[in-house]
Structure 1
């Protein structure tokens, strides 16, 4: 069965999709078959009669096996708002069992690795009682943390790590992504994070702006994950 990793972030808009795509490409370049899974997505557009999310489409394009869009993204909502609010407006219930069924279908393919991208941060509500992190805990997924380098990121990173470990899960690696090109004292903040995060640093992505392209995987060292 394919090994699965869950990619979360210190907040929304920290580059989870960019990093997930880079992880997938780096793994694929080593000869492994990869699949991307975006369990829940909002801010979707109607394409060919089906609601589709740009992040999920990116993961679908980076996958080694051609599968229908819905297998990559089982819950897709049009409004660009919190998924649990979008689901309530659509009179739809996001269930842990349906998310697990979707993952199981991907694990039943010929894929070697599955990269699961979360939404928002670690404590993302999916309904009135549950969080997406409850599902990650249920599936016992290994976690990769994306730290968006901007003011406040040290606090956000350490609190997120505490929450993940409190849930009994293992952070197998993290990626530092410079999302603010004007961040004051970037190097000092980066060193503070490296000293405090007791997990392998899988990559440090500088501010690339419009230059970000498929070569982003060159900033990623996938070896610490695949050697486990």
Structure 2
């Protein structure tokens, strides 16, 4: 079973778009691919009398395998806040066992699982737990989504260092062109390709800025071992 953990340089940099693009690319090689939003903060009516997170809905749409909601989104918090604050407001605590159990259910049923994190690498899930701790517990290679905008070089390199310090492999990175007015985007992209490439992390995709992004049209170069 192929699996990866998608994190980002910040909140709102395109992790869900990148995760969906990865799912579509994996779906061209494998029959059963599924996305997982392990912890989602922010819920809306799902149209069926329940609640769902918009990122989770996007991942489901990009998956080829339909699974119970408790598997692909084991932690759903109502408020669109940092997960630890949303959990406190809901009177619950985010813990690893339910998430790991849900992941193992997905892994047993699928050929490939893409797990999307929340926010950036060090976002807290509780007073004693972070997104980084979750990724380490899952023991998955990491894909870093870099929002291409002013400041991205520092954010990307700091996050890459933190991922490598955790002992997890940085399988690659995805460029998300957030700011259509950014000065010298190609120079920044070239700098990131050199710096992250020197760490063994190739550029997997370059996602253009779009008013209505479509992950199905993204060109993704999967690592050979994922094909």
In structure 2, the CA distance between the partners of 1:186 and 1:214, relative to structure 1 (3 Å rule), is closer
Aligned to 2:24: 25
Larger deviation: 119-128 or 71-80?
71-80
- Provide the rounded CA distance (Å) in 2 between the counterparts of 1:70 and 1:56: 11
Moved over 6 A (4+): none
* Compared CA separation, residues 7 and 225, structure 1 to 2 (3 A): farther
Runs of at least 5 residues in structure 1 that lack an aligned partner in the other structure: none
Are 2:77 and 1:77 aligned?
A: yes
Change (3 A) 1:225 1:15: farther
Give deviations 1:146-193, integer Å, cap 9, x for gaps. Answer: 000000000000000011011111001111110111011101111111
* CA root-mean-square deviation: 1.3
How do 1:1-228 residues align onto structure 2 when only pairs under 5 Å count? 2-47=1-46, 48-109=48-109, 111-198=110-197, 199-210=201-212, 212-217=213-218, 219-226=219-226
> TM-score, structure 1 length as denominator?
0.93
* Counterpart-to-counterpart distance in 2, 1:167 and 1:64: 31
Tell me if the contact between 2:30 and 2:112 (Cα under 8 Å) persists in the aligned partners.
Answer: no
Distance 1:72 1:150, change over 3 A: same
Q: Give, in angstroms, the shift of residue 214 of structure 1.
A: 4.4
Task: Compare 198-207 and 146-155 and name the one that shifted more.
Answer: 198-207
CA displacement 1:90-131 (0-9 Å, x = unmatched): 11111011110110111121x111000001000010101111
Distance 1:225 1:196 in 2: 23
User: d(CA) in 2 for partners of 1:32 and 1:153?
Assistant: 35
- With the length of structure 2 as denominator, give the TM-score of the two structures: 0.94
1:67-88 Cα deviation digits (max 9, x unpaired): 1223211111111111111111
Question: Deviation digits for residues 42-87 of structure 1, max 9, x if unmatched?
Answer: 1111333322001101111211112122321111111111111111
